[in-house]
Amino acid sequence: MADENIPERDADPADYDAIIIGGGPGGATAAWYLAKAGKRALVLEKETFPRFHVGESLLPYNMPIFREMDLVPKLKEAGFMEKFGAQFLLPRGDRKAQFAFGNGRFATEPMSYQVERSKFDEVLLRHAEAAGAEVREGTAVKDYQIEEGEGVTVTAQNGGPPEEFRARFLVDASGTANFTGNREGLKELYEHHRKVAIYGHYRGVTLPEDRTRGDILIYRLENAWFWFIPLSDDRVSLGLVVDRSTFKERDLSPEALFDETVRRCPLLAERLADAERTMPLRTIADFSYRNRRLVSPHLVRVGDAAGFLDPIFSSGVYLAMMTGKLGAEGICEAIDGGNALNAALKRYEKTTWRYMKSYFEMIENFYRQPFFELLVQPDHRLRLADAVVALLAGQMEGGWAVRWRLRLFFLLVKLQARFPVVERFKIE
Ligand SMILES: Cc1cc2nc3c(=O)[nH]c(=O)nc-3n(C[C@H](O)[C@H](O)[C@H](O)COP(=O)(O)OP(=O)(O)OC[C@H]3O[C@@H](n4cnc5c(N)ncnc54)[C@H](O)[C@@H]3O)c2cc1C
């Protein structure tokens, strides 16, 4: 879009190899891989870090990416809470499934971290900068234009007049702002996954002293669930996810609905007896969607800007970093081959669909009562629950051993709905 404030450009076809919209985990990871490959990468981030962000529980299969990026020492130095497992509980604690990642048969990564995102995202962005990426914070992307065969022109603003930048590739890592997907009309909401999340931080919650201290706890209620993510000795992230229809029917303020639902969950209420909120509760709705296309000439979408699934299995940051890495690797191949879109990027799109589909299937199942009944009463002979744990850990390449077990598990979920395979119980 022409703007009289934008100065005339010289004939240089591209200032950068890639411009990245957004400096969250997806954008910072893409920038790091591009910079490490010797590409000129520019990150345009509208906020100034550190900034608050929801999404604090990481998966064990984030660890291989952290190691590859040489990030582990920085994460250790930041002192993030170590996470060794996940627990799924009914409100009164009478049913419970407790998984330690280290015991899983099909996953080899025993731990991950629970992170305060303001701190974690800043570590990642500074890491990309240290690798050679240029980072401009407080700079919002306003527009982009793609000229096939040439590249992309991005218009951005940092308080003053708009500026233009040119690159061979645009990486959309704008998160749920979904900058290019919205502009191109590609967004598809998962209609029957319309949820509302209400969340905040608490202090004064007592945590256990053993290895389960950093476990993520999922309290499962009828039509709702809570996440409980210990971030540090004195800070816990707590969130409630409810159906959008329930939220409307109840017609309460988010705070009132949150507090009322805590009271319906005695196990959690007990833990919060002496706790206090350290921030006003935040609310987000309708966050599950995908874009119909992830790559096109000169453009790649990564992280939530590719699509976002329900947060129940904490897959967001892992998928953002994985797609940031794979997207950047595809771009490097395309640039080196002189292409605007190549087989590597098509492969990237296919792999991302596959990852998202695997999680989507698990998420669909999670909201069915029989899934929960089977999860908390696992039959260890066939090690079906181990296959579920592998996916919960982020093991996306578990091969046939995991795939047939998951297929069988999902078949049992269907059976359980009609002829009980294990004891049925009520979720209150
Ligand atoms: C309720 C809820 C709970 C969640 N819980 C978890 C969890 O426990 N674990 C987990 O792994 N994930 C969780 N997630 C998901 C997780 O938050 C995201 O998947 C993750 O942040 C995606 O990273 P990203 O880099 O793609 O996007 P983001 O982290 O959102 O980063 C995008 C960045 O782009 C910037 N930006 C946007 N528009 C522009 C623009 N026009 N110009 C410049 N910059 C721009 C934003 O300021 C932002 O910094 C949860 C999500 C929700 C909604």
What is 195-285's CATH number?
3.30.9.100
What separation in Å is there between the alpha carbon of 139 and the centre of ligand 1? 17
- What's the first-to-final CA gap in the chain, in angstroms? 55
Report pLDDT digits (tens) over 240-277.
999 999 999 999 999 999 999 999 999 999 999 999 99
DSSP 184: T
Ligand 1 atom closest to 323 (CA): 26
Largest Cα–Cα distance of the chain, in whole Å? Answer: 72
Which of 43, 46, 309 is the best mutation target for the ligand 1 pocket, counting ligand atoms within 8 Å of the beta carbon and taking the most?
46
Task: Give the homologous superfamily in CATH for domain 16-78+115-189+290-358.
Answer: FAD/NAD(P)-binding domain (3.50.50.60)
The per-residue pLDDT for range 43-59, each reduced to its tens digit, is: 999 999 999 999 999 99
Contact yes or no for 250/258 (Cβ under 8 A)? no
Distance 289 CA to ligand 1 centre (A): 13
Which residue's C-alpha comes closest to atom 33 of ligand 1? 22
pLDDT for res 428: 81
| Mean pLDDT confidence for 231-236 | 95
- Span from the CA of 175 to the centroid of ligand 1 (angstroms): 5
Q: Do domains 16-78+115-189+290-358 and 195-285 have the same CATH topology?
A: no
Mean pLDDT of 95-124: 93
Q: How far is 298 from 178, CA to CA, in rounded Å?
A: 17
Kindly list the domain boundaries of the chain, sorted by start residue. Answer: 16-78+115-189+290-358, 195-285, 368-418
Distance 420 CA to ligand 1 centre (A): 40
pLDDT at 187: 96
Query: Which atom of ligand 1 approaches the CA of 314 most closely?
Result: 9
| Nearest in space to 171 (alpha carbons), one of 14, 350, 28 | 28
Q: How confident is residue 412, by pLDDT bands cut at 50, 70 and 90? A: very high
Q: Which atom from ligand 1 is nearest to the alpha carbon of 51?
A: 49
Q: What is the number of the ligand 1 atom nearest to the C-alpha of 305?
A: 26
Mean pLDDT score of the chain? 93
The residue whose CA is least distant from atom 45 of ligand 1 is: 22
| Spatial distance between the Cα atoms of 228 and 239, rounded to a whole number of angstroms | 7
pLDDT-above-90 percentage for the chain: 80
Q: Which residues line ligand 1 (CB under 6 A)?
A: 21-27, 44-47, 53-58, 140-141, 173-175, 177, 179, 197, 239, 284, 287, 303-305, 308, 311, 314, 316-318, 320
CA of 75 to the centre of ligand 1 (A): 19
Nearest CA residue ID for atom 26, ligand 1: 303
